[in-house]
């Protein structure tokens, strides 16, 4: 229990830092909500990272982070694929880090397909906390969520894939209970697909020994089969948590972290420890002018939720030059886990404070303010990273698209023949 109290994902009152080490790119299931690109200026969701590390590089990153983050207590592997699909890399990473720090807490996140098989080995590695993603108990729903499952070289699809995955997930949970490994069950809430099943998942997970549940909003990923799925509001999410909480303790403070997250849950510092392998590379000083709003707790890194900010930093980008124009004091509308509202005067005032801005760069944002801002013609990009680098990327992306559109229009207007 002492380690659970020290783990920020399992204890909402814990302010310790954690590090996710992206050493596992392989995956053995294909989810319709997933598009595992390694990085993008507007990506901040589970499964995304800026680079894949070798176990040796992961140990070096842990050591570097430990030296500057005094309360770093947890080292986890959450992908960007499935840690048990890259079993050897995952085990070697834990082994190397244990040599550096005997007291570190180890955790991993898995889809559960190989969990029962490897549970005893996980225990030997010193892993004390495991997250298993279980989205449904119904094969018919599983056929909507999962495209295919690969198990021991055989590829399954349809109901057979869903049934196999669920069987392995529940058996894995029970095995964790036997081994006294603390389990968390993640459920991606997909509106119109599994939103009427979350209570059943929580009840079954509790019966199999899960300690806590975590219902998360679907973040539609561009290029995935679910990229146009409807979004779940904060009110709907919290209502689902309340219903499920009757059967299983619920997590209300999840940040849906990337696979390379570093630091406290609400102040990610991964940009300080990673290279830049972004898919969107900034052009050399793209020409044009933008007014860009940034949410940051330290004026170095974009690391704040739009609704948590009490200041908006307004920058101007012009032909490659970035300068701070002003700082706007605002009243935040999120005051803690589960307390963000999708409606109200605070949101109206916060949106008003973005007047004159072309682009909003923030770590996270609620559905309602994002909808209002985009209706106003503002570009909302969720990201985290150093402010100057993120502004350069946003300018390259935004001005580059406008330049291509302008060229296309000019070409279309030229006479034929």
Domain chopping of the chain, boundaries: 2-272, 289-406
- Report how far residue 9's alpha carbon sits from residue 16's, in angstroms, rounded to the nearest whole number: 10
User: In the prediction, which pLDDT does 349 show?
Assistant: 85
pLDDT band for position 308 (50/70/90)? confident
Average pLDDT, the chain: 83
User: In the prediction, which pLDDT does 417 show?
Assistant: 39
pLDDT band for position 409 (50/70/90)? very low
Is the omega angle on the peptide bond into residue 80 within 30 degrees of 0, that is, cis?
yes
pLDDT band for position 160 (50/70/90)? very high
What mean pLDDT comes out for the span 363-378?
Answer: 89
Q: In the chain, what percentage of residues exceed pLDDT 70? A: 84
User: In the prediction, which pLDDT does 284 show?
Assistant: 52
Instruction: Of 42-56, 103-117, 142-156, 376-390, give the lowest mean pLDDT range.
Output: 42-56
User: In the prediction, which pLDDT does 22 show?
Assistant: 92
Q: In the chain, what percentage of residues exceed pLDDT 90? A: 48
- Report how far residue 366's alpha carbon sits from residue 384's, in angstroms, rounded to the nearest whole number: 16
| Numbers of helices and strands, H then E, in the chain | 11, 16
Residue 256 in tokens = 């849906």
Higher pLDDT, 46 or 337: 46
Give DSSP secondary structure letters for 76-88: EE--BS-TTTTHH
CB 258 within 8 A of CB 46: yes
Residue 308 in tokens = 């948590």
pLDDT band for position 94 (50/70/90)? very high
- Report how far residue 370's alpha carbon sits from residue 380's, in angstroms, rounded to the nearest whole number: 7
User: In the prediction, which pLDDT does 48 show?
Assistant: 64
What mean pLDDT comes out for the span 142-161?
Answer: 92
User: In the prediction, which pLDDT does 59 show?
Assistant: 92
User: In the prediction, which pLDDT does 199 show?
Assistant: 94
Instruction: Of 12-21, 132-141, 307-316, 349-358, give the lowest mean pLDDT range.
Output: 12-21
- Report how far residue 368's alpha carbon sits from residue 217's, in angstroms, rounded to the nearest whole number: 14
pLDDT higher than threshold 50 for residue 277: no
pLDDT higher than threshold 50 for residue 412: no
- CATH 3.40.50.460 holds for 289-406: no
Tens digits of per-residue pLDDT, 216-242? 888 766 667 677 777 778 888 889 999
- Report how far residue 250's alpha carbon sits from residue 215's, in angstroms, rounded to the nearest whole number: 8
pLDDT higher than threshold 80 for residue 405: no
Cα dist from 376 to 116, 159, 360, 380, whole Å? 50, 44, 12, 11
What mean pLDDT comes out for the span 62-70?
Answer: 88
The CATH H-level superfamily of 2-272 is Aldolase class I (3.20.20.70)
Tokens 């995955």 belong to: 165
Residue 187 in tokens = 């459920």
- Report how far residue 162's alpha carbon sits from residue 147's, in angstroms, rounded to the nearest whole number: 9
Q: CA angle, corner 380, sides to 377 and 382, nearest 5? A: 175
User: In the prediction, which pLDDT does 35 show?
Assistant: 64
Global pTM exceeds 0.75: no
Q: Please, what is the end-to-end C-alpha distance for the chain in angstroms?
A: 78
What mean pLDDT comes out for the span 3-23?
Answer: 84
- Report how far residue 193's alpha carbon sits from residue 32's, in angstroms, rounded to the nearest whole number: 12
Tens digits of per-residue pLDDT, 244-265? 999 999 988 776 777 888 887 7
- Report how far residue 97's alpha carbon sits from residue 83's, in angstroms, rounded to the nearest whole number: 16
pLDDT higher than threshold 90 for residue 82: yes
Tens digits of per-residue pLDDT, 351-365? 999 999 999 999 888
pLDDT higher than threshold 50 for residue 207: yes
Instruction: Of 42-56, 105-119, 169-183, 340-354, give the lowest mean pLDDT range.
Output: 42-56
Beta strands of 158-300 (E only): which ranges? 182-189, 212-217, 262-264, 267-268, 289-294
């Amino acid at each position: 229990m002492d380690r659970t109290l020290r783990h920020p994902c399992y204890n909402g009152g814990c302010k310790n830092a954690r590090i996710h080490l992206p050493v596992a790119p392989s995956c053995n299931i294909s989810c319709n909500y997933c598009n595992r690109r390694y990085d993008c200026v507007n990506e901040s969701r589970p499964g995304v990272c800026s680079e894949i590390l070798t176990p040796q590089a992961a140990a070096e990153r842990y050591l570097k982070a430990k030296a500057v983050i005094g309360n770093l207590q947890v080292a986890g592997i959450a992908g960007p694929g499935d840690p048990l699909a890259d079993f050897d890399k995952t085990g070697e990473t834990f082994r190397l880090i244990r040599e550096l720090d005997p007291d570190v807490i180890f955790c991993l996140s898995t889809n559960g397909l190989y969990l029962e098989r490897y549970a005893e080995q996980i225990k030997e590695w010193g892993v004390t906390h495991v997250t298993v993603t279980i989205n449904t108990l119904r094969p018919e729903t599983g056929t909507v969520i999962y495209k295919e499952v690969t198990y021991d070289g055989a590829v399954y699809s349809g109901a057979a894939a869903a049934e196999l995955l669920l069987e392995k997930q529940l058996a894995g949970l029970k095995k964790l209970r036997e081994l006294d490994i603390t389990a968390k069950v993640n459920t991606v809430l997909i509106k119109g697909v599994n939103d009427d099943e979350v209570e059943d998942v929580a009840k079954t997970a509790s019966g199999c020994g899960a300690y806590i549940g975590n219902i998360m909003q679907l973040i539609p990923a561009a290029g995935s089969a679910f990229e146009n799925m409807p979004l779940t509001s904060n009110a709907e999410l919290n209502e689902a948590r309340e219903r499920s909480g009757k059967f299983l303790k619920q997590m209300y403070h999840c940040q849906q972290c990337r696979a390379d997250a570093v630091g406290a849950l609400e102040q990610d510092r991964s940009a300080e420890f990673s290279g830049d392998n972004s898919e969107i590379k900034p052009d050399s000083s793209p020409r044009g002018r933008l007014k860009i709003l940034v949410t940051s707790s330290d004026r170095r890194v974009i690391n704040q939720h739009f609704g948590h900010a009490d200041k908006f930093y307004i920058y101007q980008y012009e032909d490659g030059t970035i300068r701070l124009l002003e700082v706007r004091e605002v009243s935040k509308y999120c005051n803690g886990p589960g307390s963000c509202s999708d409606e109200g005067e605070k949101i109206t005032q916060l949106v008003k404070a973005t007047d004159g801005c072309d682009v909003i760069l923030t770590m996270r944002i609620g559905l309602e303010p994002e909808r209002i801002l985009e209706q106003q013609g503002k570009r909302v990009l969720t990201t985290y990273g150093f402010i100057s680098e993120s502004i350069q990327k946003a300018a390259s992306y935004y001005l580059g698209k406008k330049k291509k559109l302008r060229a296309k229009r000019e070409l279309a207007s030229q006479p034929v023949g």
